[in-house]
Amino acid sequence: MKKHLLKNYLFLIIVLFGSVGCQDNDEFQKELVQIYEIETDHIIEEDTTEYLGLNASFSYIDFAYLRVDIKPTDEATQHWNSTFIYDDLTEYEFHGQYSIPKDASGEYEIILYLSDKNGYQTQLSQTFRLEEH
């Protein structure tokens, strides 16, 4: 009788530990798909060419794609609205450089979407301001 109770007790402890103490593998993978930071830099060359420099760092398990959206924060401003998709990154950092249209000015938002092959996606955004020249 004691042996049977001991077996049941051990079985109950194992089941409780397995269901409460261990993190779900899907949740663990989802937590690893992260964008840590975005840095932007307004680059002007020879007073004629302007670029937006972008640096980002992130983590992922099985990379699917990185999407970069650049859009105005004011919907009435339509000078610059672009989307770029990258599906061949091999590092955990991204460096991009985007040509700024001549008539673009005002406040813009850059949004990064990171997705892995399991369908987990995260995003991070930052606003920046372009002054009229």
Tens-digit pLDDT profile for residues 98-122: 998 888 888 999 999 999 888 888 8
pLDDT exceeds 90 at position 70: yes
At 113 the pLDDT is 94
At 18 the pLDDT is 56
**Whole-Å CA distances, 85 to 9, 38, 63, 123:** 54, 16, 13, 14
Residue-averaged pLDDT of the chain: 81
pLDDT exceeds 60 at position 19: no
Angle at 38 between CA 35 and CA 42, to 5 degrees: 160
Q: Cβ–Cβ contacts within 10 Å for residue 109, how many?
A: 13
Please enumerate in sequence order all residues whose Cβ is within 8 A of that of 121, keeping only pairs 6 or more positions apart, or say none.
Answer: 33, 113, 114, 115
33-130 is a CATH 2.60.40.10 domain = yes
